[in-house]
Amino acid sequence: MTPQEKILSVAKETILTEAKAIANLEQLLDQNFAMAVETIYKSKGRVIITGIGKSAVIATKIVATLNSTGTPAVFMHAADAIHGDLGTILKDDVVICISKSGNTPEIKVLVPLIKNFKNTLIAITGNKDSFLGQQADFTLNSFVEKEACPNNLAPTTSTTAQLVLGDALAVCLLDLRGFSSRDFAKYHPGGALGKKLYLRVSDIAEQNQKPVVSPNTPIPKVIVEISEKMLGVAAVVENDKILGIVTDGDIRRMLYKSTDISGLEAKDIMSENPKIIDHNAMAVDALDVLEENKISQLLAVKNGKYYGVVHLHNLIREGII
């Protein structure tokens, strides 16, 4: 076996080991999980998630997922909690404690303190018979037979199992809340993902110039309008109604047939019934129209009147593509 073959073999074995453990989690789910989800959903407080070591890292990711899907959550490191950070926990908060063994010294100190506060305690542990598993109000079993680490030491499979249970919690809560793509956009306003969810045609068209000519505009002036507005197109408009469109491609095809353009007007070379989209449509929907029709520009309308232009380059620049 070559070094590269050995690397691929180890990688595949790691993936298969973790995949098997994750598939087994389905069999470990019980009423504890359902009741934990219902408790969080009905809670008037936040979700405080705590852990130590690699479990703490997983806790931060679950916190991020919950916050982004409508469930307020806060991370509290288990070691810091017993040195002053217990003040993070408020009266109505639900606490999730993550620990593979459920028997670490920090957990044994922390759990009774949480219980004294009368907060609901949810455990995510690979040992439901552990101190944490027995003390928790609801115990979510994240048991794995072995770590992907060949020495069965480094947290690998176990942390993946914790993460998956956290995702399952978040998705169940998302479903209960009827969390929509619009809600999602509120929490993800930045980046390409957010823009796909909130950016509208009007947001783009307003940034562009508005190339427009009348049906009787001479071709030389049409060329000037297209060139000055730098969108490769001009809408042919009369009484606020779009009659057609002239693109730089139309200009090239016209010149290919004849260089004598004297007497020609916009109406003579325009394409009738151009593709249009409402100004209030999502930008991602504009992309669908452009791709479906293999065009680069799309005319936007508002209340049936010419509003502006959306160019494929706008969508690329915004990261929609």
Q: What is the tens place of the pLDDT at every residue in 15-38?
A: 999 999 999 999 999 999 999 999
The CATH 3.10.580.10 portion of the chain extends over 198-317
pLDDT in tens, 296-319: 999 999 999 999 999 999 888 887
pLDDT of residue 291: 92
Q: Quick one: CATH architecture of 198-317? A: Roll (3.10)
Does position 75 have pLDDT exceeding 90, yes or no? yes
Whether the Cβ atoms of residue 52 and residue 81 lie closer than 8 Å to each other:
no
How far apart, in whole angstroms, are the C-alpha atoms of residue 140 and residue 90? Answer: 23
Does position 138 have pLDDT exceeding 90, yes or no? yes
Quickly state the pLDDT bin for 169 (edges 50, 70, 90).
very high
Does position 228 have pLDDT exceeding 80, yes or no? yes
Please report, in angstroms and rounded to a whole number, the separation of the first and last CA atoms in the chain.
42
Query: Where do runs of H (alpha helix) occur along the chain?
Result: 3-28, 31-42, 54-68, 78-81, 105-116, 131-135, 157-177, 181-187, 191-198, 201-205, 219-229, 248-257, 266-269, 283-293, 312-317
Q: Which residues are annotated as a binding site for Zn(2+)?
A: 77
Q: What is the mean pLDDT of residues 130-156?
A: 94
Q: Quick one: CATH architecture of 3-179? A: 3-Layer(aba) Sandwich (3.40)
Does position 190 have pLDDT exceeding 80, yes or no? no
Sheet containing 276-278: which strands, arranged edge to edge? 276-278, 297-302, 305-311
pLDDT of residue 256: 84
Q: Which residues are annotated as a binding site?
A: 77
Percent of the chain with pLDDT over 70: 95
pLDDT in tens, 232-261: 999 999 988 999 999 988 889 988 887 778
Residue indicated by tokens 């542990």:
125
Quickly state the pLDDT bin for 189 (edges 50, 70, 90).
low
Quickly state the pLDDT bin for 60 (edges 50, 70, 90).
very high
Does position 179 have pLDDT exceeding 90, yes or no? no
